Structure 1
Amino acid sequence: MTTPEHHDLSIDQRHAVMSAAARLATEFQGIFGVETIDRFLTSSYDQFAGRATIPHFLPLLAERFARQRLHALAKVEGKTHDGRPVVLFLCVHNAGRSQMALGFLQHHAGNSVVGWSGGSQPGDAIEPGAVAVMAERGIDIAREYPKPWTDEIVRAADVVITMGCGDACPIFPGKRYEEWELADPADLALDAVRTVRDDIERRVLRLLDSLGVAAA
């Protein structure tokens, strides 16, 4: 990968980005060429470079996001698809509601469903209250990170769950959409965040039932 010249990358960061490019090239060998992988990794890096609070983690965030986007593109282009339904949770900051929903989806569905999340105006970090109340249920969302959505991610989703992003939420024909009206946990007291958490879990369980997926 040719690292973006407008970023002041340390030697360690450059090495990390190049290593990420090599891993992605191996993972998607025969599916995408080096140019496509470089383009997705570079643009994913750009998504976080301007707002990352810990620059050391930028290459890792870029790699994780690029991997998700490449899987989405592969499905959209009919190059790979394992038949599992893809659910996308969207809110404003991708720091609370959508992250809790993703956590419950992964907890209850395991590998039976592919889950993604995104925000119209991604925040800088996951809401501490959301992390705390999910930890009470034995679900760790502290390692997640706010991120935007991209066209290929939305196009690859079978179900799009929106939570308060309004007109900013992307609409593509032929997809199942649901709007979940939920309070934003930002700045709420923990008891109120717990109420939101429990509501999200009930909705996720109903969603899995509608998809024919047995919840664990």
Structure 2
Amino acid sequence: MSSNPLASVLFVCVHNAGRSQMAAGFLSHLAGDRVEVRSAGSIPGDQVNPSAVEAMKEVGIDISEAEPKILTTEAVQGSDYVITMGCGDACPIFPGKKYLDWALEDPAGKGVEAVRPIRDEIKTRVEALVAEIDAAARSQD
């Protein structure tokens, strides 16, 4: 197994407490060490949304130890893919990065029943992202 990841991905949302944490959990689970995973928020919350933690636990992914982190310029510069989920204009833009904006409902303040469809949409998008990263790596071989 190669020790160099194929790509680095940064997920960004406002509080880094729900959508970006679920996306990071799925990407780490699906891609393993093939992809370096980061997440951050423009105004990080105090903790990861308990409903997001519960919804992820239902699909066998534990994000209970994750902590919201502040978005830094260094994190954006160090990432090949920057995926925003409603962080507005707070996300700095650098040339050479692949930016994707995923319009996803904010799970803040919602129960686990309302978070499940958001979780499932994130999983679908992360699976497509993994396929794109793998295809890009194969095309460079």
Determine if the TM-score, normalized by the shorter chain, exceeds 0.5. Answer: yes
CA distance in 2, matches of 1:143, 1:192: 22
> 2:103 maps to what in 1?
181
Number of the residue aligned with 2:23: 101
Structure 1 residue 163 corresponds to structure 2 residue 85: yes
Flag the structure with larger Rg.
Answer: 1
Counterpart code for 1:101: A
Contact 2:9 2:35 in 1 (8 A): yes
SS in 1 for 2:40: strand
Taking structure 2 as the reference length, the TM-score comes to 0.91
- What number of residue pairs does the alignment pair up? 133
Determine the C-alpha separation between the residues in 2 that align with 1:83 and 1:142.
24
- Counterpart mapping for 1:40-119 below 5 A: 82-119=4-41
**Cα deviation code 1:167-196 (max 9, x no counterpart):** 111111111000000011011232210000
Deviation at 1:83, TM superposition (A): 4.9
Larger RCO (alpha carbons 8 Å, 6+ apart): 2
Offset, 1:150: 1.4
- What is the TM-score of this pair, normalised by structure 1? 0.60
Q: Quote the Cα distance in structure 2 between the aligned partners of 1:170 and 1:180.
A: 16
What secondary structure sits across from 1:124 in the alignment?
Answer: coil
Q: Which runs of 5+ in 2 are unaligned?
A: 136-141
Q: Which has the higher strand share?
A: 2
Please list the CA deviations of residues 131-161 of structure 1 after superposition, one character each: whole Å capped at 9, or x if unmatched. Answer: 0000001111010000112121110100000
Q: Using the aligned pairs only, state the percent identity.
A: 55
Aligned-CA RMSD value: 1.3
Moved over 4 A (4+): none
Q: Which amino acid aligns with 2:56?
A: M
